Amino acid sequence: MNNLLYLPNGMEAVEAEYNEFPLEEYNTNPFIQALPPLMDKQSIIKKLVSPISFKEEERNMDNAYRLHMIHRLYKLFQPLPIHLDIWNTIHTLIYQGYLARNPFDKNYRRYINQTGKKIINRTFDINARADFRTTSSCATLIGHSGMGKTTTVGRVVSNIPQIIAHNHYNGQHFQQIQISHLTLQTPSNSSLKALTLQFFMKVDELLGTNTFRKHVSRNLSTDAMLPLMGQVAQNSIGLLIIDEIQHLQNRGIQQMMNYFVTLMNSFGVPILFVGTPASYTVFQNEFRIARRVSGNGEIIWNNMMNNQEFLFFLESIWRYQWNRNFVSLNDELVNVFYEQTQGVSDLIVKLFVNVQEMCIASGKEEFTVNMVKRCAEKQFKLMKPMLEAIKSKNVYKMAQFEDLREIGHSPDMLITNQIKERIDVIHTDKKIVIETEKKDIEHKKHQDKKVVKNVEGDIRDILKKSGETYQLLVANGYIDDMALWLEGGGK
């Protein structure tokens, strides 16, 4: 176990202890060897899981205390398969990112010395091609709000010492402070200067340095501060986590993305982007970032389906009932919980807490399906349109809420994917013909096209009733006539 140290500013650090890895390339780099050993699946789960205190006799305690005990549920962390993916992605980014930044590699030392001189002499060109072969990459974690993205990333990196103090390595003097990971929030105004100042403030907070005061007092421009930020990050930081990336605005995307590319290419710093589906267009519009993200990791975290994963998550919290009368989980309760939360983990826990509060306050003291429905109706009023959009599976309806956009699809599509998969609409002179799906492709090729039969309420029925296809699709909610946008000037 690492010995704890305290820096002059009072921050806690660990003394570097060097591990031997089965990977030969990891055993010559102090930054990598000071990191924890890699783990198998079961060990990762044990590290991630966070149970909460609970005793059955607590159900007999006074209402005032039980109402407070329920809130322990917000500290519960139940690992799911996607959490293992996030763990492995983060560890890969950090370990691989340090490979090319070996402080005992003479070529790397020569490169950072040359880069440092250029930065001091103000001749460093942030857009120039670097004479440095980086091993860093970036990855994205994109998911619906309420799925626990930020919490999970924080949980994973909490298992890696953030500040590691080096003194000697393989009998050689080596004084260095290593920051294994650093999280920044995307500035809401897409300001690179705000990002750099936030970076210097966080580094100063961790290490007790005064880089922020020094650069602010000199009133350096953004162009001057960016290379300094890159130099500090290059010397020690294992992973830069950029959270809430969806806050990037159009006018700042290009400049911000150019700098992130420079951080990876010229300074060798890996990056993890975290955001909602609204941020996906940021990467699609920047090919250099999209190429790197696709190469190392792209984790899409949608709401849970009503399947084994959802059941497992619900079962993991269900035993934490502080109502006097314990109610076993059954299919009816499973379905009503899914209906009211649509598999959003944050809402599942909140509903579970709020129903218990209602049970205790009302004196009912046990779960019922009707109570779950009443509680959801009362507590989730603001979220009802979003939940209805998720429930509808209608891509356009979901696209109206940035946090719910279905990744990979344009919000102005005319019909949903589900419809596209079911029917193939073919327009002839004055009639609409539907080619039905057939499992046997060869048979399908020779089958005559059939005219759709009238099925009340089906989109095919809507299409058949009139040739005014566009107006009918608008009226039935499959597309928007854009009137609201036109009236509001596109805002």
- Whether residue 378 is contained in a domain is answered as no
- pLDDT of the chain along its 491 residues, tens only? 578 888 888 899 999 999 999 999 999 999 999 999 999 999 999 999 999 999 999 999 999 999 999 999 999 999 999 999 999 999 999 999 999 999 999 999 898 898 888 888 888 877 676 677 888 888 889 988 889 999 999 999 999 999 999 999 998 999 999 999 999 999 888 788 888 889 999 999 999 888 877 767 667 778 888 888 888 898 889 999 999 988 886 666 777 888 888 888 888 899 999 998 887 777 666 655 666 555 556 888 988 999 999 999 999 999 999 999 999 999 999 999 999 999 999 999 999 999 999 999 999 999 899 999 999 998 888 777 777 777 777 666 666 666 655 554 443 333 333 333 333 333 333 333 333 333 444 444 444 444 444 555 555 555 555 555 556 565 555 555 555 444 444 44
**CATH code, domain carrying 20:** 3.40.50.300
The residue from 301, 324, 345 where one domain ends is 301
Q: Two tokens at 194?
A: 């705000």
Instruction: Measure the CA–CA gap between 461 and 477, rounded to whole angstroms.
Output: 15
pLDDT value, residue 425: 34
In a domain, 48, yes or no: no
**30 Cβ contact list (under 8 Å, min separation 6):** 16, 18, 103, 104, 166, 169, 174, 176
Is residue 226 assigned to a domain? yes
What pLDDT score was predicted for residue 238? 95
| H or E, element range at 115 | helix 106-120
Asked if 14 and 178 count as a contact pair (C-beta separation under 8 A), the reply is: no
- Residue 320 · residue 76 · CB < 8 Å: yes
Do the beta carbons of residue 37 and residue 17 sit within 8 Å?
Answer: no
pLDDT score recorded for residue 408: 47
Give the pair of three-digit tokens for residue 228.
């300094």
Provide the 10 A C-beta neighbour count for residue 222.
16
Residue with tokens 């091993």: 135
Residues comprising the chain, all counted: 491
Rounded CA-CA distance 13/11 in Å is 7
3-class DSSP state of 50: strand
- Final residue of a structural domain among 251, 283, 301: 301
Whether 480 is in a domain gets the answer: yes
Is residue 329 in some structural domain? Answer: no
Non-local (6+) Cβ contacts of 72 within 8 A are: 52, 53, 54, 320
Q: Are 466 and 460 in contact (CB under 8 A)?
A: no
Asked, for residue 66, whether it belongs to a domain, the answer is: no
Q: Are residues 437 and 293 in the same domain?
A: no
Task: Please check whether residues 296 and 429 belong to one and the same domain.
Answer: no
Q: What is the distance, to the nearest Å, from the Cα of residue 353 to the centroid of all Cα atoms in its chain?
A: 24
Of the candidates 350, 324, 351, 323, the residue with the CA atom closest to the CA atom of residue 336? 351
Q: Is residue 376 part of a domain?
A: no
Q: Which domain holds residue 481?
A: 414-487
Helix, strand or coil, per DSSP, at residue 235:
helix
Round the CA-based radius of gyration of the chain to a whole number and report it.
28
Q: How far apart are CA 176 and CA 18, in angstroms?
A: 14
DSSP assigned state of 478: S
Q: Are 269 and 97 a contacting pair, CB within 8 Å?
A: yes
DSSP 8-state class, residue 447: S
Residue 124 CA, chain-centre distance (Å), reads 33
Query: Within its chain, how far is the Cα of 166 from the centroid?
Result: 32
Out of 301, 331, 355, pick the residue that ends a domain. 301
Query: In this structure, which amino acid lies at residue 53?
Result: S
Residue 394 token pair? 């209608």
* Model pLDDT, residue 489: 46
Return the closest-CA partner of residue 395 out of 419, 368, 361: 419
* Placement of tokens 């949608």 in the chain: 302
**172 SS3 class:** strand
pLDDT of residue 178: 96
Q: Give me the number of domains the chain comprises.
A: 2
- Are residues 134 and 100 in contact, defined by beta-carbon separation less than 8 angstroms? yes
- For residue 92, which of 237, 271, 279 has the smallest C-alpha distance? 271
Residue 366 lies in a domain: no
> DSSP letter string over 406-441?
PTTS-TT-SS-HHHHHHEEEEE-SS-EEEEE--S-H
